[in-house]
Structures are given as structure tokens and as C-alpha cells.
Amino acid sequence: MSNKLIESALKLSDALRTRDSKSILNNFAKFSDDINNDIDIIKKWNDEELSRFNGLLKYLLLSVENKDYFFGVSIIDSQLIPMMNISSSKIFDKEKLEINNDVTEDISNQYEDYAYPNLWNGVIPDYMRDVSLKNAEPTALYNLKYLKSLTNNKYKSFNNANVLIAGCGTGESSLSGAIIYANVNFTYVDISRASLNMAKKYAEELNIKNIEFINDDIMTMNLDKKFDYIMSTGVLHHLENPSKGVENLKKHLKDDGVLSAMVYGEYGRFEIGLMQESIKYLKKESGFKEKIIITKKILKFINKDLRLSEINKNDDIEKGDQHIVDLLLNVNEFRYNVLSLNSMIEEGGMRLVDFTNRRTMDPNEYIDDVEFSSLVKDLTQLEKWHLAEMLNGKLKKHHFIAVKKEFKQGVLGLSNKNLVPYKNVFLKLKTEIMNGKINYFIGLDVANFFEDDFIEIRWIKIDDMAYELINYINGKRTIKKIISKFDKKIIEKESLKFLEYCINNKFIFLHNN
């Protein structure tokens, strides 16, 4: 490591402490020039030299407090942290992916410069190293049992299943799934080498062995492999042609496979759309750095009574420049209501079957009226979903499930006593003492898993036997075993009736053992 590089890094560190914007920019320019001048040498460093360089970069990070709140945030988030991921075994050294259309090229360049997401800032949080994580249930988007249950299809073992994460980014939101499902084979694909480098670094530090990393474009990739599950969070809506992306994912999906994806919602992102168009007017030909500066100024000084001020309530604004770019300055973005989403999925040759945030997509959650419910009952499922999102009005994202059009859904019923019930990941139980008596309640806490749902838990009162029965369900005991325990206390018919009630209300799901 040259003394020149160390000297410029230390000067940058001093500038960051002062929070003087002019000094920060001048010193960062000098530091960047020195990095670029030495980049060929850096790539040839041995592990000891790389370790010393990473230590220097970590020193720079530690020299700044509350880095998200000062002018130099882009220096830390978009430049220094990706540099920390330099490792002789982690860099994708092959030539940049050949891209044949301008939109995809722009998207690739954006995520090379602003790897996303970047909540960990190069440091893996302690909870990811917690041994108990291996026995945990992941959230719905990455819960294989939950996804499978939504199709009501015959359950099969997840051992050696193949899962594709299409657009993995830095891996922060999906690596926990690879830990929990240690016997599942994961393939992580992303168009950004910078993001893949970070994901690969994290995976190696966590000793995750069941992931293959691939630098490719999900619209054109040909992996020569079929997957049981494909998960794509926040990616399809940035593609030049989302339907083409769905079509290519379908080619990589097994006949009974499931696609779980998230795309932006049209109605809840109205203010974000206004901001995006405003920035285009003001900074048409500018690069991201200039756009970030003007975006921050607008958000800081805008009248709090105006609709655009609502954007300041979004947590991403305080998470660094990568998050501002992804949220407000993305080079390409589509937003969907349920009808346009359904059309996009059908154009890709697939079929929309459900939403993981089911309660949010139920119109009856918003209007508690018998006449209203009777009118809703006559609507098609697609119309019900669309009505629900209009009544909500604030859904920024749609978490949907799709299958191939030819996919035949099966039905798992209570008649087969060898089936195993397991609890919905959102299931909550509580007790309350009223007038000296214990009362028992059951409900679904979807708001803790999906932002912008705006739905409080709907608690349903149950009796003590039902409370004991639901607690007895552990994802291993069969219906037969559960009934054999409770038919001494309540007749079998009543046990089955309660289990059926739980299934209809999505409190539990069934699978083969």
C-alpha cells in the first residue's frame, strides 16, 4: 500500500470529522484518484495487504458518527464500503456482462455504483450469527412451506430443493433463508458485480456453503437448470420489459414450481412518482451525485403540508445514498395496480394465484358491514384484490405468488389424518384477564411483515381447549395424533371443526409429513 494512498485516506478522514462539505469533496476527489491510479496494483495484493487496506477503510468508517445525516454520506455508502469487499477470492474478475439494450445497461451501471441494499454497511449484524436462526421461520417471502401452502399443492420435501434468488443484490434480505434452509441449493443471480461481491463476502463470513453466485441478466440468462422456487424481490419493476423477465423466470421454473415476487404498487407510490418526475425536470442530464444533492434539498425544505413531504416518512431516506437512489432516482421503474400486474404476469405466461399479504388484499378488512360483504362475495377474486388495494390506497408494494398457467392445484383436506398441520408464520396468540377469568385470542400479525398494510391484528376469541390445541401444533404431529390427544377432552368432530376453521382463516396450513 503506497504512502500516498494512506496520506490521502487520512486527510479524507479528517475532512469527514469536520463535516465541511468543500473539504470533504476535495479530499474525496484526491482519495478516489489515488485509488484509481493504484487499482491494478490493489487487485494483485496478497491477503495481508488486502487486510491492511480493509483495516484502513474500516478506520475511515469509524471516524464518522451518524454518517447518514451529513453531506458526505455518499462517500461512505457508495464508495468506501464497496471497497471494503475487495478480496482475491471474492471479486468477479471476468469482463463486465455483455448487455444489448440501453435500459439494462443503465440499470447495471446504477447498481455497480450504488450497490443495494446496504443496511449492514459492510458489517454483518449479530443476529445473523445467532445459532437459533437455523431453527427459525423466515418471513413469508422466503418461507418455502408458506409459499407451497398458498398453491394448495401436494407438499414435498425441501431437502435438496433448488431455489433461485433472481436479483439478489447484496444478499442482506435473503441470506437468512440460506442459513435456515441449509439442505436447500440456492442460486443467487444479479446484474451488479458490486452487489454480488458484497453478498459473496457476507456468505463466506457466515460460512454459508449452499449458494452459487452468478452475474447475469434475468431477462436473458440461461442457467440450464430448473428451480422449485424462484424469489425476486424488487427487481421485475426495474427491467426494460418485466413480462419478458417473468417469461424467462418461467423457463427456469419446474412445472409445479412457485414464483414469489415483489413489485411496486401504483397507488401507494404516488408521491414517490411525483418526486421522480420533479428530479428529471431539474437535473435531466446530471449524474447521480448531483441528483442526490437536489433530492435531499427538496426533502429538507419542502413545505410539510405538501404531499411530497410524505416521502420523508420513508425509512429509506435515512439509510444512505444507495437507498435514496433506489427509491427516488432509479433509472427505470414500473408501478402496478392489481389489474396491470395480472396482465404483466399473464403476458409472461404465468398465472397470479395469491398475495402473501392476504389480509391486506381482503376488502372485508376495510369495511365491516354485512351488505358490503354480500356485494364483495359476488366479485371475482381479481376484482376483490383490486377493490382491496383501492380501499387501502397506500400499498407501495405487491408481494405476489404466481405459477405456470398449466399448473394444476391440488387440495389437501382434513380427511387424510396423516397430514401435518403447521402454523402460519404470522400467527399470534394472546391471553387477557377479564373479571378474574382468562380469555384466549388468536390473530394474524401481517403488519409486522409487510409495510404499508395499515391493518391492526383482528383478535378472535377462542376457548381454552382451542388455545391448547393450536399450541400443540408443532409442524411435526399429524392430524391423527392431535385428535387422539384432544378427543378425550372434546369430541373428535369438534377438534376437526376447529382445525377446519383455522385452515379457512389461514391460521394453519397442511402438508404431508
pLDDT in tens, 26-79: 777 777 677 767 766 666 666 656 665 665 565 455 544 434 323 333 344 444
Confidence (pLDDT) at 85: 44
In this prediction, residues 395-408 reach a mean pLDDT of 88
Position with higher pLDDT, 133 vs 482: 482
Count of other CB atoms within 10 angstroms of residue 104: 22
Q: Which helix (H) or strand (E) holds 381?
A: helix 381-392
pLDDT tier, 243 (very low <50, low <70, confident <90, very high otherwise): very high
Confidence (pLDDT) at 149: 62
Gap between the Cα atoms of 228 and 184, Å rounded: 10
Q: Which of 111-115, 338-342, 442-446, 466-470 is the most confident on average?
A: 338-342
Local structure of 63: helix, strand or coil: coil
Position with higher pLDDT, 227 vs 495: 227
Give this prediction's pTM. 0.74
Gap between the Cα atoms of 453 and 361, Å rounded: 9
Grid cell 439494462 in the structure block, residue: 104
Contact 151, 407 (CB under 8 A): yes
Crossing angle of the two packed helices 464-472 and 492-504, in degrees rounded to 10:
70
Position with higher pLDDT, 84 vs 421: 421
Asked if residue 25 has pLDDT above 80, the reply is no
Crossing angle of the two packed helices 3-18 and 21-42, in degrees rounded to 10:
150
In this prediction, residues 495-501 reach a mean pLDDT of 81
Gap between the Cα atoms of 31 and 24, Å rounded: 10
Local structure of 352: helix, strand or coil: strand
Gap between the Cα atoms of 358 and 455, Å rounded: 11
Confidence (pLDDT) at 96: 65
pLDDT tier, 455 (very low <50, low <70, confident <90, very high otherwise): low
Question: In Å, how far are 385, 396, 415, 426, 440 from 151, measured between CA atoms?
Answer: 17, 24, 19, 18, 30
Asked if residue 256 has pLDDT above 90, the reply is no
Which region among 13-22, 308-317, 321-330, 376-385 has the lowest average model confidence (pLDDT)?
A: 13-22
In this prediction, residues 75-92 reach a mean pLDDT of 42
Residue 508 sits at φ, ψ, to 5 deg, of -135, 160
Gap between the Cα atoms of 509 and 425, Å rounded: 10
Which region among 164-173, 240-249, 253-262, 307-316 has the lowest average model confidence (pLDDT)?
A: 307-316
Q: What is the dihedral of CA 444, 449, 451, 453, to 10 degrees?
A: -10
In this prediction, residues 375-379 reach a mean pLDDT of 95
Confidence (pLDDT) at 381: 95
Query: What would the pLDDT profile of 209-241 be if each residue is shown by its tens digit?
Result: 999 999 999 999 999 999 999 999 999 999 999
Provide the β-strand partners of residue 259: 230, 402
What the block records as the C-alpha cell of 358 is 392476504
Percentage of residues of the chain with pLDDT beyond 70: 73
Which region among 94-108, 152-166, 269-283 has the lowest average model confidence (pLDDT)?
A: 152-166
